[in-house]
Amino acid sequence: MSGAGAATPWTGRVDGATDEHLRWHQVVEAFSESAEVGACVFIGFASDEGVRRNKGRPGAAAGPGALRGALASMALPTPLRAYDAGDIEVTDGKLEAGQGALATAVCAALDAGHFPIVLGGGHEVAFGTYLGLARSARRTTETRLGILNLDAHFDLRADPVPSSGTPFRQIAEREQAQGSAWQYSVIGISQPSNTAALFDTARRLGVRYLLDDDCGTGTLASVLDFVDDFLASVDQVYLTIDLDVLPAAVAPGVSAPAAYGVPLETIQAITDRIADSGKLAVCDVAELNPSLDIDNRTARTAARLLHRIATRRMVG
């Protein structure tokens, strides 16, 4: 895992050491080349450089530590193997180098047969996560990649300098240059937070999306139909969760809190569907800013989602 700093041991509550008492911190080990195939591998991406470039509120670089802290004491339904590959830290504004290091770490984890979960960091994490999958042996010319973004924003900005607002435009340009088969879909788009130009870009690129207005619990069946159509059209899934998709009351600790947002019940149902599909290759979570959080509310919510994704995908 080149470029990642050494993992700090996880700590938390201990009720016992037998299988029925296990919590995450009791099973997570430092990643090594001898890691058991098929395990979950956490990779931190400590960056808010993309948020800074996008004129947002910095602080997401502390997200990986807060996510680990919130996840550590969650109880496991059954024993599983998990590893921590440490953090890739973006310093001195060197975002592109950090994304390259993340890509190397994600690619190595995938090629070794693991399930990588990337802990962001601003949503600039997405381009690094994607590059890792794109460069791995898991992605072949016959594989149709599906990217599902749970987000209030398209992140398709045409800015010349990459930021947290540009990763999916960067991905689109790379996929088009490669002539690859892929699909980018977004659930939770906030109309007031995206200009008409961004909607035009989305239409031009064939992006499928649902507005936050159409993602309430009363319309859950139609949201899951959207997810099922997405899954049916792709072979392999990269799931990326921008926490600003959630209502501000649920996720206050983000750069751009949602005035409306998608209910947690809906987001959880979506992630359950993806985790159960058998197609999920890699997942990341973005935009947790602990300095803006209230009672660790955002961190705990994100950790619960990651807990469910990991345990459902790995245990079934």
Q: Which residues are annotated as a binding site for Mn(2+)?
A: 123, 151, 153, 155, 242, 244
Is 227 strand, coil or helix?
A: helix
| Angstrom distance (rounded) from CA 193 to CA 219 | 22
Asked if residue 279 lies in contact with residue 236, where contact means CB atoms within 8 angstroms, the answer is: yes
Which of 280, 279, 298, 296 has the alpha carbon at shortest distance from 288? 298
Q: Which residues are annotated as a binding site?
A: 123, 151, 153, 155, 242, 244
* Cβ-based burial of 42 (10 A; exposed 0-12, middle 13-18, buried ≥19): buried
What single-letter amino acid sits at 251?
Answer: A
* Start-to-end CA span in the chain (Å): 27
DSSP state of 225: H
Q: 28 forms bridges with which residues in the sheet? A: 82
Strand-by-strand arrangement of the 208-211 sheet: 28-30, 82-89, 40-46, 115-120, 280-286, 236-242, 145-150, 182-189, 208-211
The number of C-alpha atoms within 13 Å of 236 and in the hemisphere containing its C-beta is: 20
Nearest by Cα to 131 from 245, 36, 3: 3
